[in-house]
Chain A
Amino acid sequence: MKYKSQKVAYMFFALSIVLLLLQIVYGFIMGFAHAGFDGLHDFIPFNTATATHKNLLVVWLLSGFMGAAYYIIPEESQRELVSVPLAKLQFWSLAAVGVTAVIGFHFNWWEGRKFLEIPRPLDYLVVVNVLLFLGIILVTLFKGKEKTTTAMVLAMGLFFAALLYLPGMVWFDNQSVDSFFRWWVVHLWVEGVWELIMGGILAFLLIKLTGVDRELIEKWLYVIVGLTFLSGILGTGHHYYYIGAPKYWLMVGGIFSALEPLAFLGMALFALAMYRKGEKNHPNKIALYWTLGSAIVSFAGAGLLGIAHTIPSVNIWTHGTLITAMHGHLAFWGAYAMIVIAIITYAMPLMTGRKLYDRPAAHYAFWLSNIGMIGMTTAFAAAGVAQVYLERKVGMSFMDAQKAIEVHFWILIGAATLFTIGIIYYAVNFFQHGLPTDEALVKE
């Protein structure tokens, strides 16, 4: 750690870990409900559980991105953050809005719009919060000595992510129009600007962990950003196949979705190439695991499993089934959860001065969570394929098909248990680092 103000990242990282743990609890509630045990239904019905699960994900990832920015931007621009008290205020308001939203979901206070369930009044608070965050980051960046490509890509990603939240705040009477704009937010986030954030964090980590020249790494970063937008913008079309929009989206969405894995493939090849080229033997091996893991798993989850059902002739059968959950879980885990965990794993020893990276817990955390998540994805895939076949092809009723695939949810719960043990190891290891301290400050 080179700048005192980087310490503020810790609060965001800690919030991420706590919300991740809570997100898992709601995942289990849904897993058991799918397996036929909905004992909590009277208190936490399925729609509450799913809204909570998804929004906790969004909030902990955003908190992780913000923490990452507060850590990376001072180091890249070579100056302290412009205001630590404002950053702390931004943290507490983020936490307050997040907690209020989640509590609201338990009292029927929400909007029934997948991923954007946070009710409108809180949306405005989110906007204020994010503007404050962007203000701190951008002013720091522009007052800084350096404006590196890595920092610019990260900042651009954060800026557009904020901008794209706005189309989700408009009310439309027509369900199809509503859905059309909802994907401007959700798709252009996860298959557009969030990839910039991911690319920025990835580049920063590779520079630090492999010791390869910044120039080379940032050249790759340009290519990845380019590929992301070339494919991702028109790739939005794969959400428009069957919601009441014109047929040309089948062709446009189909072609550009088929190109979307390229950006992720580029990222995976890039990370591996830098790893092989790197001569620096950084002691924090486990941070490198998470970094490379993120690049590889995102290609599998977001890239390959994505294209597995964005082909229009496949999607007509799989649209609105558990196949989406299969893709969603591995994609979010690989692309965004793992990159947030990677930057946390890299930053914690540097902020606290405690070098806990070679502890067995750190390794168990990586392997168990990944094996568990791959198992969960496989369980969703088996359940999803069977559901599509029974319900869509053979014409079995929804509930009969659900009964027939219940068994896969026990596999899901088993795999999720492994995943959870991994995350608990991670959380324990995280909190054993203790609090960040100025004693950990180092000069170049």
Chain B
Amino acid sequence: MFFLGGTVVFFLVFLVLSANTLSSGIPRQTHADKVSQAVIDGKILFDENNCMGCHTILGEGAYYAPELTKVVDRRGAGFIKAVLTSKQPWTLSGRKMVAYGFNDKEASDLIAFFTWIGEIDLNGFPPEPDLKK
């Protein structure tokens, strides 16, 4: 009975917290009003090409290629566009990336998506390197 009761209680707590997260938490922290059509189109491309199969985003994905959450800050839109539109596999960083050869619109949609991602309040992730000289 203790377990059954506990499970029901914790499940209800989980649902309440989830409802709060979805109705106010995530919309506020992700600036949901800034999810434009370009951001959505960018996410679709990100999904369709399984970018998460090599990279991480919001710390999720595979661990073969760089974290993309702050990629716009780190690299700038110009560099990202060069990688995305390249007709040759991108190898300058040491590992090969599939040559997607995106067109200008696709590249700018993905950059819009990354820009939006970069502005999400992630409770302090990724942390600043605290041992950096």
Which of A175, A178, A227 neighbours the largest number of chain B CB atoms within 10 Å of its CB?
A175
Closest to B61 in A: A114
Known contacts A47-B62, A179-B58, A234-B10; A250/B123 CB under 8 A:
yes
A190: shortest Cβ distance to chain B, in Å?
Answer: 15
Contacts of A237 in B (CB 8 A): 17
A175 near B67 (CB under 8 angstroms)?
no
Listed by A's residue number, 10 A-B pairs whose Cβ atoms lie within 8 Å are A45-B96, A111-B48, A112-B52, A112-B53, A233-B10, A244-B30, A247-B123, A392-B127, A395-B129, A398-B66
Contacts of A233 in B (CB 8 A): 7, 10-11, 14
B98 near A45 (CB under 8 angstroms)?
yes
Secondary structure at the A interface, as helix, strand, loop or mixed, is helix
A180 near B22 (CB under 8 angstroms)?
yes
A395 near B131 (CB under 8 angstroms)?
yes
The answer, yes or no, to whether A359 is at the interface (CB within 8 Å) is no
A339: shortest Cβ distance to chain B, in Å?
Answer: 22
Interface set, chain B 90-133, CB cutoff 8 A to A: 93-96, 98, 113, 117, 120-127, 129-132
In the bound assembly, the distance between CA atoms of A50 and B121 in angstroms comes to 29
Q: How many of chain B's residues touch chain A, expressed as a range?
A: 35 or more
The answer, yes or no, to whether B78 is at the interface (CB within 8 Å) is no
Partner of A175, one of B58, B64, B66: B58
A319 near B59 (CB under 8 angstroms)?
yes
In the bound assembly, the distance between CA atoms of A320 and B126 in angstroms comes to 10
A243 near B122 (CB under 8 angstroms)?
yes
A393 near B131 (CB under 8 angstroms)?
yes
A87: shortest Cβ distance to chain B, in Å?
Answer: 32
The answer, yes or no, to whether B82 is at the interface (CB within 8 Å) is no
B35 near A173 (CB under 8 angstroms)?
yes
Contacts of B30 in A (CB 8 A): 174-176, 244
The answer, yes or no, to whether A364 is at the interface (CB within 8 Å) is no
A290: shortest Cβ distance to chain B, in Å?
Answer: 28
The answer, yes or no, to whether A252 is at the interface (CB within 8 Å) is yes
A100: shortest Cβ distance to chain B, in Å?
Answer: 17
Partner of A174, one of B32, B51, B98: B32
A41 near B120 (CB under 8 angstroms)?
no
A246 near B20 (CB under 8 angstroms)?
yes
B3 near A243 (CB under 8 angstroms)?
no
A246 near B58 (CB under 8 angstroms)?
no
Closest to A34 in B: B64
Closest to A222 in B: B3
The answer, yes or no, to whether A220 is at the interface (CB within 8 Å) is no
In the bound assembly, the distance between CA atoms of A33 and B53 in angstroms comes to 13
B89 near A46 (CB under 8 angstroms)?
no
Interface set, chain A 11-40, CB cutoff 8 A to B: 30, 33-34, 38
The answer, yes or no, to whether A108 is at the interface (CB within 8 Å) is yes
